[in-house]
Structure 1
Amino acid sequence: MTAKQIVRVIRSHASKDGDGVNIQRVHGFNDSTFSPFLMIDELKSENPDDYVGGFPPHPHRGIETLTYMLKGHFEHRDHMGNVGQLKSGGAQWMSAGKGVIHSEMPIVTEGGLHGFQIWINLPAEKKRLPAKYHDFQSPEINEYGSEQNLLRVISGTLKENDALREGPLQDTGVETIVADWRAAGGESRTLTIPAHYQTNLYVYKGEVKIGGDTVKAGHWVCLGDSDSVTLESVENAGVLILAGQPIDEPVVHYGPFVMNSMDEINQAIADYQNGVLTD
């Protein structure tokens, strides 16, 4: 095994989305080192004013979203009739396919919110399939290790010392691994990821060392080719591991739509305006 090394580090930036929700964002819609991922939003605040407006009904086409909540409670509703409760430690996956209209609204409780929404591209052949939705409550997320060195696997399968580490979400539009590693200072973990996957990390807490380089919270890390990654916690660390099969296709992004051409974007806008996006 050869260990992956850092190719690039990108700092997240402050942004707003939905009804004035404050977030930290990293995006790479036209960056091949992100593929198949497109964007990550981190919502972290103890002040309800930062998130109380939530994300009222809005459309998507051509992507999947994976939302993961460390702390707090959101309610999902969509045009298919799904109502999902996204609570602390849980996740929800949605494939927009040809079209979905959904909302994600906070159920305001004391203690604030901390969570992530990850956008994942779909290959052209799957951008017009029917929408799907599934949520996973915290007990369904597979955990490996102890509180001092814990790996939670949400999506896909990776290896550790030849043992499989699997998530409950397997049937996605493109092969992906999404996992959460939390560790006290001085702890480490070496994970094996398929060499043909593009691997990225998002450090959301503390500091972590990868291949001799230290990365602080709020940064996205692009890793180079090879089949393993070793993470070392400098101080109490939290890291999202995001790996997947790259999609070698054009990406055209406009608001909530991600397609392969501007004509397809214009069609998505027209379909939404005419009320036929989800037909």
Structure 2
Amino acid sequence: MAIRQIQSLIPAHPSSDGDGVRIQRVHGFNNAQFSPFLMIDELKSDNSADYIGGFPPHPHRGIETLTYMLKGHFQHKDHMGNVGELTDGGAQWMSAGKGVIHSEMPIMTDGELHGFQIWINLPAAKKMQPADYHDFQSDVITQYRQDDGSLVRVIAGDLTIKGTTLAGPLQQTGVPVTVADWQADNPARFNSCLNPDFQALLYVYRGEIDVEGTTVKAGTLAILGNGEGLALSANEQAGVLLLSGLPIDEPVVHYGPFVMNSMEEVEQAIADYQQGTLA
């Protein structure tokens, strides 16, 4: 079984979004090796001033978002009447489809906020489908405790470990993806089988890991090459998100909250939003 090797490393960079929310961001809108993922934002702070303004009502079209909170709450409200509040360890998924207008407000718990928002592209055939939303609290996230004490949490799709397939609660996505979180508090190893047709990314958010002889430190995204096997190790505390999905071989045109296949489609999304017909 071919083990995936690191093709490139991309450090996250400081950015700001919403009402001045400070984040660490990695994006790959026009990077074919990123597909079907578009962007990863990490929100981490022990200072409420870094995010108190949150993300006031704003539109999206053509993407899905997956928000995952390690620590802290995240309130969601949208034009469809959905209201959800994540707690520690929970996740929420939103498909913007044709259009959604929503707000998101992060809330610190125990003096800390730490979470992620992942943008996932939609294929052209699904960009104009109706919007949808689901949230998943921590108790429904699939968990697997390894013999070395490390914890695997499967949020979306399926992940195979030692011949056992773990199914995350989120299966309804516009393109097949697997999203999982590996947490190690001591020296540990993580081995898994991935769909060989999927591309795979690793985002290290705590400590550092070793991938076939290459060290990946916190705040860094690793793009992996082809293969079926995945082998990671950590010598101390570590945390890493695994993002794997079926690539979308289509043009990507990104402008603000809209991701479409042509500039004409983006301009139409802007016009629809201005005229009140986006959602």
Task: Name the SS of the counterpart of 1:52 in structure 2.
Answer: coil
Q: Tell me how far 1:160 sits from its aligned partner.
A: 1.0
Aligned mates of 1:186, 1:5 — CA distance in 2: 21
Query: Structure 1 residue 166 and structure 2 residue 167: aligned?
Result: yes
Which residue is 2:149 aligned to?
148
Task: Name the SS of the counterpart of 1:272 in structure 2.
Answer: helix
Does structure 2 conserve the Cα–Cα contact (< 8 Å) formed by 1:201 and 1:241? yes
Does structure 2 conserve the Cα–Cα contact (< 8 Å) formed by 1:27 and 1:40? yes
Two-structure CA RMSD over aligned residues (Å): 1.0
Q: Tell me how far 1:144 sits from its aligned partner.
A: 0.3
Query: Structure 1 residue 267 and structure 2 residue 265: aligned?
Result: no
Aligned mates of 1:23, 1:148 — CA distance in 2: 30
Does structure 2 conserve the Cα–Cα contact (< 8 Å) formed by 1:203 and 1:218? yes
Which residue type is aligned with residue 232 of structure 2? L
Structure 1: 5+ residue runs without aligned partners? none
Which residue type is aligned with residue 247 of structure 1? I
Which residue is 2:254 aligned to?
253
Instruction: Tell me the alpha carbon deviations over residues 20-62 of structure 1, each in whole angstroms, 9 at most, x when there is no partner.
Output: 0000000000000100000000000000000110000000000
Task: Name the SS of the counterpart of 1:235 in structure 2.
Answer: coil
Does structure 1 conserve the Cα–Cα contact (< 8 Å) formed by 2:71 and 2:109? no
Does structure 1 conserve the Cα–Cα contact (< 8 Å) formed by 2:150 and 2:186? no
Q: Tell me how far 1:166 sits from its aligned partner.
A: 1.2
1:1-279 equivalence runs, <5 A: 1-145=1-145, 148-278=149-279
Runs of 4+ in 1 over 3 A off after TM superposition: 107-110
Task: Name the SS of the counterpart of 1:77 in structure 2.
Answer: strand
Aligned mates of 2:109, 2:140 — CA distance in 1: 23
Task: Name the SS of the counterpart of 1:159 in structure 2.
Answer: strand
Q: Tell me how far 1:108 sits from its aligned partner.
A: 4.4
Does structure 2 conserve the Cα–Cα contact (< 8 Å) formed by 1:208 and 1:233? yes
Aligned mates of 2:185, 2:225 — CA distance in 1: 26
Aligned mates of 2:89, 2:149 — CA distance in 1: 17
Percentage identity across paired residues of the two chains: 64
Normalization by structure 1: what TM-score? Answer: 0.98
Structure 2: 5+ residue runs without aligned partners? none
Task: Name the SS of the counterpart of 1:271 in structure 2.
Answer: helix
